[in-house]
Amino acid sequence: MKYNKRTIPILCFILLFTSFLLDHPVEANSTGHEAAHVNNVIFMIPDGFSTSYATNYRIYKGSEESSLDPLLVGMMKTKSANNWVTDSAAAATAMATGYKTNNDMISISSDGKPLETILEATKKAGKVTGLVATSTVTHATPAAFAAHVSSRESKAEVALQMVEKVDVLLGGGKRNFLPQSSGGLQKDRNLIEELQHKGYSFIENRDELLKHQEYTSKLLGLFAAGPMSPELDRHVTEQPSLAEMTTAAITSLSQHPEGFFLMVEGSQIDWAGHAHDAAWAMKDIEAFEKAVEVVLDFAEKDQHTLVVVGGDHDTGGMSVGGYGAYLSKADVLRDVKATGKYMAEQLNSKRSNAKEVLKKYANIELTKEEAKRIKKAEAEELGYVINTITSERAYIGWTTKVHSGLDVPLYAYGPASDWFRGSIDNTDVPKLMAKAMNIPFLSSEGY
């Protein structure tokens, strides 16, 4: 082969560049199987969220894409050990322990044995841990990462078990940590005072959270006696947003050089689905998306943080379009300023002010037929009737007041995110997280 003056420099460049690549191998990007070192894992759970919620949220937002869409990697199966339709306790147990259990059970096997959670394994490995939720922090999903009880209703026991394991705990449920003499659920212990003696900073409202400049690595924030308010109604409270709590949790946990595990739950998307309150659902997804953006900003800068986002199940069987028309108007929900429950509470005893209430809080001009439906509704169904009228205006239908057995979308970002691609079971999630962090985990055999 003859070499001319042009080919010799090109060949030299190729040889030099090949030599450089051999000496400096390219580190895998955020979607590569050969993942960079994972120091932190942030698991975000939009409770009750499925593909129909994702689609309606795009329409509501008026955008072709949400912050989650570019992170989509696959779908997740959700069945529990004893039912094709899971509850939150069994679903969270699967995502926390890598094992299926029966509905209602929290990180205990169907035959009654405690199951190690990914949070506990992370703690044993020398990392710090955090749980953030807009429900009570002892509710089914956060509970499954730090407690072991046969029934999700054992909230006082869940609180007792949490205080030994979780470094940052933010959400509602203050009464679960207080003694009965103070209106709480603990028999004779004030867990808040005990945690303060152990070095936890304790905060109770948004101002305290935002002004708390020196976040210690141990932080307890309980912003309501019970659950926090829905995002639609939060403006009349002194409670922080999910994004603000997430920021505080990351600020605290990231001080620890060995890394951290953080679970963040958008709890009330699920509750909105149970209530058929489409506006509440969209508003809480919006709040969750803002928390996702906080996490992605941190992960992008850190480069050693794996972010996984996935709902635990579908709630309500929401549809995109409905009521006999090829139509969707989820964007009209942006005019709704309160939950259906809140609007029901504003009605007078005869419900004669229904038109004024729906106009003020939902920008809906009630028809005579709609006003009659509200007037005739049973007291316990009043919120559903208001929410149905709102859903009809948005062409959003519902098939159930409980959960459905749908697979749910799974999203991931950062090193090892490619491991979550395809159709996986919810029990695979904690095993893959443990593998990414290279920590021992009782459920990780074969990974």
Provide the residue ranges of all domains of the chain, joining segments of one domain with +: 40-318+401-437, 330-394
pLDDT digits (tens, 9 = 90+) for 6-50: 444 444 444 444 444 334 443 333 444 445 689 999 999 999 999
Coil, strand or helix at 370: helix
- pLDDT on residue 271: 98
Instruction: Report residue 442's pLDDT band, with 50, 70 and 90 as the boundaries.
Output: confident
Residue 212 has pLDDT above 90, yes or no: no
- Residue 26, pLDDT score: 36
> Is it the case that residue 239 has pLDDT exceeding 90?
yes
Share of the chain above pLDDT 70, in %: 90
pLDDT grade, residue 164 (50/70/90)?
Answer: confident
Please write the tens of the pLDDT for every residue from 86-135: 999 999 999 999 999 999 999 999 999 999 999 999 999 999 999 999 99
Q: Check: CB of residue 217 under 8 Å from CB of residue 128.
A: yes
**Which residue carries 């004030």 as its tokens?**
190
Provide the pLDDT for residue 4. 52
Residue whose tokens read 């890394």: 259
Up-side HSE of residue 388: CA atoms within 13 Å toward CB? 15
Structural fold of domain 40-318+401-437: Alkaline Phosphatase, subunit A (3.40.720)
- Most confident among 7-16, 162-171, 279-288, 319-328 (mean pLDDT): 279-288
What is the enclosing helix (H) or strand (E) of 421?
none
Mean pLDDT of 150-162: 94
Residue 103 and residue 91 in contact, taking contact as beta carbons nearer than 8 Å: no
**The tokens of 345 are what?**
């509470």
Residue-level pLDDT at 116: 96
Q: Return mean pLDDT, the chain.
A: 91
**Token pair 């306790």 is at which residue?**
89
CA distances for 427 relative to 91, 203, 252, 420, angstroms: 9, 34, 29, 12
pLDDT band at 446 (very low <50, low <70, confident <90, very high): low
Q: How confident is the model at residue 215 (pLDDT cuts 50, 70, 90)?
A: low
- Specify the pairing of strand 408-413 against strand 72-77: antiparallel
Structure confidence at residue 217 (pLDDT): 76
339-367 tens-digit pLDDT: 999 999 999 999 999 999 999 999 999 99
Q: Output the pLDDT for position 445.
A: 56
Query: What's residue 211's pLDDT?
Result: 83
Active site residue 444: no
**Report field, pTM of the whole predicted structure over 0.75:** yes
Other C-beta atoms within 10 Å of 199: how many? 10
In this predicted structure, what is the pLDDT of residue 396? 97
For residue 257, report the phi and psi dihedrals to the nearest 5 degrees. -65, -25
What is the sign, positive or negative, of the torsion defined by CA atoms of 54, 60, 63, 64?
positive
Query: What's the whole-number mean pLDDT along residues 165-184?
Result: 96
- Judge whether residue 66 has pLDDT over 50: yes
End-to-end alpha carbon distance in the chain: 50
- Tell me the pairing of strands 305-310 and 408-413: antiparallel
Contacts of 131 (CB under 8 A, 6+ apart): 119, 137, 142, 145, 146, 162, 166, 168, 169, 170, 171, 262, 263, 265
* pLDDT for the residue 214: 62
Which is more confident, 30 or 70? 70
* Choice among 50, 67, 88, 252 that is catalytic: 88
**408-432 mean pLDDT:** 97
